[in-house]
Homo-oligomer: A and B are copies of this chain.
Amino acid sequence: MNIEIIGFIAAFTTTAAYFPQVYKIWKSKKTDGVSLLMYVVMFCGISLWLYYSLEINRPSLIVANSITLLIVSIIIFFKIKFK
């Protein structure tokens, strides 16, 4: 089995993991339990992983890190908006 297929399943799973958190914030309009610092640091880290993924040229990692960066940006936006 092509390892990139495992990578894409992993990418789907780790990005999907953020959706319940996004939905929970959206529904409750509350972000008290979510750490802004966590997501800001995460944003920096995922940016570095995206650079790394592009360098080693692994499609599943590039897709996963691009989508995760977008989701983390949305959570940061919610955290600021619903504060």
Using a CB–CB cutoff of 8 Å, the interface residues on chain A facing chain B are: 3, 6-7, 9-10, 12-21, 24, 28, 30-35, 37-39, 41-42, 44-46, 48-49, 51-52, 55-56, 58, 60
Tell me which residues across on chain B come within 8 A of A34, comparing CB atoms: 21, 33-34
Asked if A20 and B3 sit within 8 Å, CB to CB, the answer is no
Copies in the complex: 2
Say yes or no: A10-B52 contact (C-beta < 8 A), given A20-B41, A32-B33, A33-B24. Answer: yes
11 additional A-B residue pairs with CB within 8 Å, beyond A6-B48, A14-B46: A10-B49, A13-B42, A14-B41, A14-B45, A17-B39, A20-B37, A21-B38, A24-B33, A24-B35, A30-B33, A33-B33
